[in-house]
């Protein structure tokens, strides 16, 4: 149990690293929370800091989720024998996403969690082969909606809502279906202000 608690804390701390905030301070000497949408995510970093830093934030936030699940799971493989591999992966993934969404380094006010969720899902697909096709469908859904609307938040919300549907269609386990519902809820809740602007037709297009 001690190893699990340690892993959860490490995963949370990895997720908590506020990459957009750090790059804003490092590159421009600014607090990115005071510019643009005020969000510490890749989209706001792209708008405020530019294309290069924005892409870098996207990559780093995705890597947070990927590394937290993949490497911490490998670390615990020989120490945990009372939890299934699937449950352990889910716990680590959720811990990292919670870290990003509610980072301890910024008074528990973080990003929207889409990139980090993607990283977690990629790591899960590496470990659980049945998720590979679902990962492909999730990426295809996001890209399709974004190309049609050019609105990041709309693509993220609709993709989050599609995830539980894909899980059910491809008959995934109850823990994975439950995870998909939690992730869907997280994405919707973190995009509340975006949804309001979408309904009011005031949400900005990326380009």
Three-class secondary structure of residue 107 per DSSP = coil
Three-class secondary structure of residue 34 per DSSP = helix
pLDDT band at 76 (very low <50, low <70, confident <90, very high): low
CA 183 to the chain's CA centroid: 9
Q: 187: part of which helix (H) or strand (E)?
A: helix 174-190
pTM, full prediction: 0.93
Report whether pLDDT(92) > 90. Answer: yes
DSSP 176: H
Q: 33-74: per-residue pLDDT in tens?
A: 999 989 999 999 999 999 999 999 999 999 999 999 988 877
Q: Which two tokens stand for residue 53?
A: 């830093």
Q: 136-150: per-residue pLDDT in tens?
A: 999 999 999 999 999
Cα gap 93→64, rounded to integer Å:
10
Report whether pLDDT(153) > 90. Answer: yes
């Amino acid at each position: 149990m001690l190893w699990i608690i340690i892993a959860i804390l490490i995963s949370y701390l990895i997720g908590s690293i506020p990459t957009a905030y750090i790059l804003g301070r490092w590159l421009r000497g600014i607090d990115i929370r005071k510019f643009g949408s005020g969000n510490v995510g890749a989209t706001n970093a792209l708008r405020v800091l530019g294309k290069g830093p924005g892409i870098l934030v996207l990559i780093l936030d995705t890597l947070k989720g990927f590394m937290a699940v993949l490497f911490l799971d490998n670390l615990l493989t020989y120490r945990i024998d009372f939890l299934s591999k699937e449950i352990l992966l889910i716990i680590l993934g959720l811990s990292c996403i919670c870290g990003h969404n509610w980072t301890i380094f910024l008074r528990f006010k973080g990003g929207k969690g889409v990139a980090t969720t993607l990283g977690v899902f990629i790591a899960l697909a590496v470990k659980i082969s049945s998720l590979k096709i679902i990962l492909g469908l999730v990426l295809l859904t996001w890209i399709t909606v974004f190309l049609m609307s050019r609105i990041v938040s709309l693509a993220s919300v609709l993709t989050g809502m599609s995830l539980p549907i894909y899980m059910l269609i491809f008959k995934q386990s109850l823990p994975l279906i439950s995870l998909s519902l939690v992730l869907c809820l997280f994405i919707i809740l973190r995009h509340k202000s975006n949804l309001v602007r979408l309904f009011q037709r005031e949400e900005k297009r990326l380009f």
